[in-house]
Amino acid sequence: MTFPKVPMPDGVAVRIGAQIPERVLLAEKAATDAVDELPACLGPEGREALARSLNILAAANKTLAAYNPGLIVRFGGAR
């Protein structure tokens, strides 16, 4: 049985977000942004951009893992 995806109400998201430290929220945003940029960096001319995105992802994942290892972001989506 599958359940339909229902969007989370904004009020619920705000209450959940209020429980998570700001540094973790910022790290999650940085990690997902870096992962979104990775496919554009995979050509030979994108080596510097790829290195920069991977460094951002590594730093953000370090913060996320310290808070909760289940929050680590990987290429292909969150774990």
Q: What is the pLDDT of residues 50-69, one digit of tens each?
A: 899 999 999 999 999 999 99
d(CA 78, CA 26): 15
Q: What is the pLDDT, as a whole number, of residue 1? A: 65
Helices (H) and strands (E) in the chain, counts: 3, 2
Q: At what angle do helices 22-37 and 47-67 cross, to 10 degrees?
A: 150
> Amino acid identity of 21?
P
pTM of this prediction exceeds 0.75: no
Q: What is the pLDDT of residues 8-59, one digit of tens each?
A: 888 988 898 889 999 999 999 999 999 888 888 888 888 888 899 999 999 9
